[in-house]
Amino acid sequence: NAGVMQNPRHLVRRRGQEARLRCSPMKGHSHVYWYRQLPEEGLKFMVYLQKENIIDESGMPKERFSAEFPKEGPSILRIQQVVRGDSAAYFCASSPDQGGLDSPLHFGNGTRLTVT
């Protein structure tokens, strides 16, 4: 049973380019979460999605960032016009339900974005 799959593992973009990060949840999981971890800092919640729905995007920057989890295919975190401050590790997690007591989050290996 494959775990949460994220790709690419490493992504280098120049300022102004677009970054697309992909996440395939564990089999049977319909809830996806994106977190960002800046160097030497903790994980910051960005967005929580279910299939075709954004449930909570309170942690997403208002501009340049968007996320989707379509009916078919992986969840995508998209960052437009990247800036150096976007350089971070982006972790995706999934759960079979709302990440409650009996179903904690399972994390992917992360995508390390470097903006040059």
Partner 1 sequence: RKEVEQDPGPFNVPEGATVAFNCTYSNSASQSFFWYRQDCRKEPKLLMSVYSSGNEDGRFTAQLNRASQYISLLIRDSKLSDSATYLCVVNMRRGKLIFGTGTRLQVFP
Q: Which residues bind partner 1 (CB under 8 A)?
A: 31, 33, 35, 41-45, 48, 55-56, 58, 89, 91, 95, 97-101, 104-110
Q: How far is the CB of 61 from partner 1 (least distance, A)?
A: 17
Q: How far apart are CA 4 and CA 1, in angstroms?
A: 10
> What residue type is 81 in one-letter code?
Q
Taking the complex as a whole, how short is the minimal distance between the CB of residue 16 and partner 1, in angstroms? 27
Which amino acid, 78? R
Q: Which is nearer to partner 1, 12 or 18 (CB)?
A: 12
Residue number, 110 or 115, with CB nearest to partner 1: 110
Q: What is the DSSP letter of 60?
A: S
Q: How many CA atoms lie within 13 A of 7 on its CB side?
A: 4
At its nearest, how many Å lie between partner 1 and the CB of residue 112?
A: 8
Burial 7-17 (b: 16+ CB within 10 A, else e): eeeebebeeee
- Of the pair 10, 15, the CB lying nearest partner 1 is at 10
